[in-house]
Amino acid sequence: MIPQIGLENWSGTCLARADRRAVGHILFAVAVFGVVLMIDWLWLTVLSVPVVLELAAPGLRHFITRRGTLQLIERFPWRPVSVAFVPGRRIGRQAYLRVDGSENNLRLPELPERARVLIRHTGRVWIAGPDERGRVVAMTRGLAFLTRGRVVER
């Protein structure tokens, strides 16, 4: 078992990395929009707005949900759970994890490939929650990754 102090430091590291990743998404979207504006073609500018918003969406989503993430981390202690991927339920970066000893699954809307490999290898994630609405915060040990998720029925 990892001491609680170590978990708090690790969750702080994961949250700081998520903040940097979100800022990177937003800055990349702003840079793309800046290049489009430098081209100075009206229709290209109009058509690029949805693309720029799509590029900035992960960063914006992170900062919109950050307060709720911090509240979940403060309210619930971190605990390890054994998980396995639900076969056939992968849609893009979204992942469904079957939690051992539970009749519910865990849905993570954003799970990069490196985190998938780590979870497949270790079979474990650390979660804080769930709250009364089924929201959880999940993080991996060994890769500074933290994301919000939801408990869903099988």
- Which residue among 74, 107, 130 closes a domain? 74
pLDDT in tens, 26-49: 999 999 999 999 988 888 889 999
- Which residue among 43, 74, 105 closes a domain? 74
85-101 b/e with 16+ CB inside 10 Å = b? beeeeeeeeebbbbbee
pLDDT in tens, 83-95: 999 887 777 778 8
Q: Do 32 and 59 belong together in one domain? A: yes
- Residue 63: domain span: 4-74
Q: Do 18 and 37 belong together in one domain? A: yes
Q: Do 69 and 81 belong together in one domain? A: no
Q: Do 49 and 86 belong together in one domain? A: no
pTM of this prediction?
Answer: 0.75
pLDDT in tens, 111-148: 888 888 999 999 999 998 888 998 999 888 878 788 88
- Which residue among 53, 74, 95 closes a domain? 74
